[in-house]
Structure 1
């Protein structure tokens, strides 16, 4: 079956559809990871997006039961150069095609993903429509323009936990504000012996303090951090009350709560090979990243914070630490382990603060 990706500017890519049939609209982005497509598909931070994989062969080790980052996928579509029909891995339980079909996600193979990636790098990420249905280009572009926006506060509301829940542990209690938390962040914290109380993104400062926690963890999540002002205000109220550690969206929320500002990146950072330098040690770490916004470095200059990490590709802020309070954060994902475990020292630092 033929399938199409139509960008908001009218560019059309024709390929072969797999997975589900139908149509979906989302922000078209790309990820440069050579592996990890299962984690990418189930990372809640991709909510509302059509994800393009730049590595040419995807699906070759299938889908297993262990590597999910969430119980379901929130992507709007999945684009690859070539999909593997017969995966080879002892853990595989189903094919990529079967997984996408089961979760009603449209896949598109056989297009020039290198050309699409160049397009997004040159012009920036943009809205697109992935479809298996007939129609003219003009009709498809009109659908994109008429569709409700795939950004805003509803993204975090879609992926956050509806109710608080507890993950038992023998150590100190930490409240995790769930903006779309990857399962491996929770596993990494729990592996340290911490008891975790995971609360919705809209939890108030009083509700969090009622758990009598030793610390607060701010998770990753989708979209623009300025779309969750209630969470920013909650974190602002808790500054100085608890040790706080933020990852990805949580890092941006800390920056905003302290008085900084954010901006949208042209095409974002999505991949497993981003070099980040720890300015304290001088050491460079290879990191996994997935974000479309960043903290503005100049907005932090007059604040009582220091920039601790920088992205060596484009100089963007990858980490910060408060000069007086037990508050720090990183933009990248220390739990994702592309190193493979080089960045676990950050979880140890949080444990020491507790």
Structure 2
């Protein structure tokens, strides 16, 4: 079972539908369970949904990242990715310009199990005005795996602990390879 933590976002149901093609999914709100209750659910993987606001507004997500990384694969989407970056010591600030319902090309700059079977470039859907600062991630255990042409961080991972983050929305129809990304995460969970 994959646990989807909902950060009170309208895209959560789209993520649920897409992930359900590969694995059974349970959804909880980011303030709906304690860490102990989440661990007792014994998820094979955890997805941190998009949501409004900043990582500080993501409820239990930072605690889940800190406590369960290395034990359970984690994928953060948009706000979830920003929470991952912040927990690892990165800084989240305003993007070059807000990208709400816009498509961008992302360059895959490092090999990643999350992008296995995909090309080195992909068109993705973006719905955000905040972003992790690249320089702030230097010296952390996260490596940047995807960037825009403007060098904006679009994907990160700590492969040793199976923690992955994407700033873009794989569940959007504007992200052509989004289903494959989520399928890859489901595979990572099964193999963990």
Which bracket does the TM-score occupy, shorter chain normalised?
A: 0.7 to 0.9
Quickly say closer, same or farther: Cα 1:263–1:297, change in 2 above 3 A.
Answer: same
Q: Is the 8 A contact 1:205 1:238 kept in 2?
A: no
Offset at 1:337? Answer: 2.4
**2:158 corresponds to 1:330:** no
**2:25 corresponds to 1:196:** yes
1 or 2 for the larger relative contact order (CA 8 Å, sep ≥6)?
A: 2
Give the SS at the match of 1:344.
helix
**Which aligned segments of 4 or more residues in structure 1 are displaced greater than 4 angstroms?**
none
Question: How far apart in 2 are the matches of 1:283 and 1:301?
Answer: 22
Which structure has the bigger radius of gyration? 1
Question: How far apart in 2 are the matches of 1:346 and 1:284?
Answer: 13
Give the aligned partner of residue 317 of structure 1: 153
2:48 to 215, 218, 230: 218
Quickly say closer, same or farther: Cα 1:185–1:229, change in 2 above 3 A.
Answer: closer
Give the SS at the match of 1:276.
strand
Question: How far apart in 2 are the matches of 1:226 and 1:267?
Answer: 21
1:265 to 74, 95, 100: 95
Quickly say closer, same or farther: Cα 1:350–1:297, change in 2 above 3 A.
Answer: same
TM-score norm. by structure 2 comes to 0.85
Question: How far apart in 2 are the matches of 1:259 and 1:286?
Answer: 28
Give the SS at the match of 2:128.
strand
Where structure 2 has 5 or more consecutive residues not aligned to the other structure, the ranges are 112-118
Q: Is the 8 A contact 2:66 2:87 kept in 1?
A: yes
Where structure 1 has 5 or more consecutive residues not aligned to the other structure, the ranges are 1-172
TM-score norm. by structure 1 comes to 0.48
Give the SS at the match of 2:50.
coil
Question: How far apart in 2 are the matches of 1:212 and 1:323?
Answer: 21
Q: How many equivalent pairs are there?
A: 179
Question: How far apart in 2 are the matches of 1:272 and 1:187?
Answer: 22
Offset at 1:266? Answer: 5.2
Offset at 1:232? Answer: 1.2
